[in-house]
Amino acid sequence: MKDILISVSTLGVLGVLFGVLLGVFNEKFKVEEDPLVQAIYEVLPHGECGACGFPGCHPCAEAIAEGRAGYDACPVGGKEVEQKVREIMEKAKSA
């Protein structure tokens, strides 16, 4: 019985310790993301299909924000997504 209590206590302490360490490292190594990329990413369909030529929607959003891809880079989203991306980019350019 004593062995079980020691094992459970050890695992509990390790769980709390690793949880605290993850929280600390999450804040210490936090990566700030460009709000423009995030805004573009939010209007993309999140299909992660690669039809745009990028490995997913986030790289596509980065390429659009950096000017390496056009507003119509997402063929899956169609004209609706293209228009939303255009509005976001025009708003960013005027700011």
50's tokens: 């690669």
Assess whether 88 and 53 both reside in one domain: yes
pTM, to two decimals: 0.69
Q: How many folded domains does the chain comprise?
A: 2
CATH number of the domain enclosing 44: 1.10.15.40
User: Rounded CA gap, 89 and 68, in Å?
Assistant: 13
For 15-47, what is each residue's pLDDT tens digit? 999 999 999 999 999 888 899 999 999 999 998
In the predicted structure, residue 90 carries a pLDDT above the cut 80: yes
Cα–Cα distances in angstroms (integers) from residue 23 to residues 15, 27, 37, 63, in the given order = 12, 7, 25, 31
Q: Quick: pLDDT tens for 57-76.
A: 999 999 999 999 999 999 99
- What residues make up the domain containing 3? 1-30
